[in-house]
Amino acid sequence: MNLRRFILLSILTVFLPSCGSQRKLALEFFREQEEIHVLLLPPQEILKKYFPIHPDSIVGNDYDPFVLEHSKFIKEAEDSVLLALFMSSLKQSLEAFEVKVYGPADMQDFLNLDTSAYVFSLAQLELMEYLHEEIRYALLDTTLYEVAFNPVNLVHSQWFEFTELNHPERPMQVLYSAQYTGDVFDGKFRHNFLTGEMTYEFQPYRIGLGDVYQLSIFAGEKNAQFIFDFLLNKYVDDRIRKPRRMVDYLQYDRLENNIRRAYDDRFIRINPSRAD
């Protein structure tokens, strides 16, 4: 790791609100790791789903999510472009963390490594579009006013299978994350005291097809952050003498060059090998 970055990090990490041993191990990760080797394996396809209502509201098999003809955007979005944008963004963003990134074409070079190396295989990539009714209310005297919207929402979800090259005895872990965008209707009710009329004034922000592609780029950037943070926390977990639930999950801010609590800004472990 870059020495200048480590020196600055040593100063900034003093403000990390975590136990001393965790702080020490986090700094050690940057000092001791000469190079991080990561193999990225893309999925074979993108799974697309569309729901005319919020998917959490669906009971039984009322809707076939794979009928896309009524969707507004995902039926038009090119699968190959979505995948290329995501994988390119993921690779470039990981390289910004000084990670050595390998792809399917570099498989033999990766397998010949005799140091710590990690595989992140994208088992499933899903793009979902759905409508979700939002209702705004206002109560004036005894009269209840309401206005309803049906914003379009997009969810970009990923499931990674994580394994370690030179440690086949360690179990595979499944890591999940999702990124969101959608229409926004910001506004407020206004009452005309002269006419008694109640109106809802708002400035809509409606997403377009370009936002579908931008979401793929953003998802690549976020997952690069999550991968780096996962490896940082794995390094700490493997060496600390405390259960994971007793220490903070850390996040490295590359631009500010400091470490902080990640809170929920992280991967969700589907089948963690140890308790979170």
3-state helix, strand, coil in the chain (%, to 5): 30, 35, 35
Rounded to 10 deg, the angle between the 209-239 and 79-96 helix axes is: 40
For the ranges 71-75, 82-86, 237-241, the lowest mean pLDDT is seen at 237-241
Range of the domain at 170: 3-128+153-180+208-269
| Residue 193 is assigned to a structural domain of this protein | no
Instruction: Give the number of other Cβ atoms within 10 Å of residue 87's Cβ.
Output: 19
pLDDT for residue 240 is more than 90: no
Domain total for the chain? 1
Per-chain mean pLDDT for the chain: 89
| Residue 201 is assigned to a structural domain of this protein | no
Amino acid 14: pLDDT:
44
| Residue 276 is assigned to a structural domain of this protein | no
b (16+ CB within 10 A) / e for 187-210: eebeeeeeeeeeeeeeeeeebeee
With contact defined as beta carbons under 8 Å apart, do 230 and 262 qualify? no
| Residue 121 is assigned to a structural domain of this protein | yes
Closest CA to 212 of 176, 183, 186, 185: 183
- What's the CATH code of the domain at 108? 3.40.50
pLDDT for residue 244 is more than 70: no
pLDDT for residue 8 is more than 90: no
Closest CA to 30 of 250, 215, 217, 193: 250
Question: What digits encode the pLDDT tens for the residues 94-107?
Answer: 999 999 999 999 99
| Residue 56 is assigned to a structural domain of this protein | yes
Is 124 exposed, middle or buried, given 0-12, 13-18 or 19+ CB atoms closer than 10 A? middle
pTM: 0.88
| Residue 191 is assigned to a structural domain of this protein | no
Question: What digits encode the pLDDT tens for the residues 262-276?
Answer: 999 999 999 754 444
| Residue 107 is assigned to a structural domain of this protein | yes
| Residue 139 is assigned to a structural domain of this protein | no
